[in-house]
């Protein structure tokens, strides 16, 4: 997935990966990933996810999103007062306890984080093709200070049956990408026949897995 493809997705009336409710695995797994040292929640490729409203009740939220439209729609649709300013390589859209950085996630620096983070990745890793997944995780691991934790949601389906995005990211790849970290599989949802968010998914199986990754 390149920048042009992502921006084109947001030219659609409502992108197929957007959910109209909080993802059920987020509250279900929260108590097993949150730790007292976490200063904020980092949400890469955040779109206008309603999960950020849920997260805002627990920690300050820092979302990173390439496209302008979801940044503006998030605050408008949630009726939040917002201020806009240019900070380094990003346009910052800011309200109480929620800041969305509009720009390239790969330009995010460690200095823009407040300290140990809880990273919530619902659909960032699975939106990227294989080589970009490696680059994404390498950048994420460089960014995050010690004590950070990742709640990662991955998808698994037969790759011969469907072309992503969202891409299948099997458990063995998750373990390779986060080699040296502590990994725990928290939950598995069987989505076979149910589709992914707004997208129809005709595959022989479709599994969504929640991972706790401790750096």
Q: Which residues are annotated as a binding site for S-adenosyl-L-methionine?
A: 10, 45, 65, 122
For 16, 165, 188, the CA distances from 210, given in Å and listed in that order, are 20, 18, 6
Give CA 79 to chain center in angstroms.
22
* Alpha-carbon gap, residue 33 to 151, rounded angstroms: 7
Tell me how crowded residue 116 is: count the other CB atoms within 10 A of its CB.
18
| Torsion sign (Cα): 90, 93, 98, 100 | negative
Per the DSSP assignment, residues forming a β-bridge with 120 are: 151
Q: Which long-range contacts (CB under 8 A, 24 or more apart) does 27-34 make?
A: 27/54, 28/187, 28/210, 29/151, 29/186, 29/187, 29/210, 29/212, 30/58, 32/184, 32/186, 32/212, 33/118, 33/149, 33/151, 33/186, 33/212, 34/58, 34/59, 34/118, 34/149
Binding residues: 10, 45, 65, 122
């Amino acid at each position: 997935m390149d920048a042009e493809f992502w921006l084109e997705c947001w030219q659609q009336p409502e992108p197929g990966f957007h959910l109209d409710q909080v993802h059920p695995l987020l509250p279900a797994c929260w108590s097993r990933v949150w730790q007292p040292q976490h200063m904020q929640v980092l949400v890469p490729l955040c779109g206008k996810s309603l999960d950020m409203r849920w997260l805002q009740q627990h920690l300050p939220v820092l979302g990173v999103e390439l496209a302008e439209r979801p940044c503006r729609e998030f605050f408008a649709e949630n009726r939040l007062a917002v201020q806009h300013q240019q900070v380094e390589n990003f346009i910052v859209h800011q309200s109480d306890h929620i800041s969305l950085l509009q720009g390239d996630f790969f330009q995010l620096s460690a200095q823009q984080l407040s300290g140990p983070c809880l990273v919530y990745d619902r659909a960032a890793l699975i939106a990227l093709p294989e080589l970009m997944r490696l680059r994404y995780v390498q950048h994420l691991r460089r960014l995050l200070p010690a004590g950070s934790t990742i709640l990662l949601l991955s998808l698994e389906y037969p790759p011969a049956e469907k072309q992503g995005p969202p891409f299948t990211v099997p458990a063995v790849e998750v373990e390779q990408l986060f080699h040296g970290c502590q990994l725990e599989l928290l939950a598995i949802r069987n989505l076979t026949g149910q589709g992914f968010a707004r997208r129809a998914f005709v595959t022989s199986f479709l599994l969504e897995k929640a991972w706790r990754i401790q750096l």
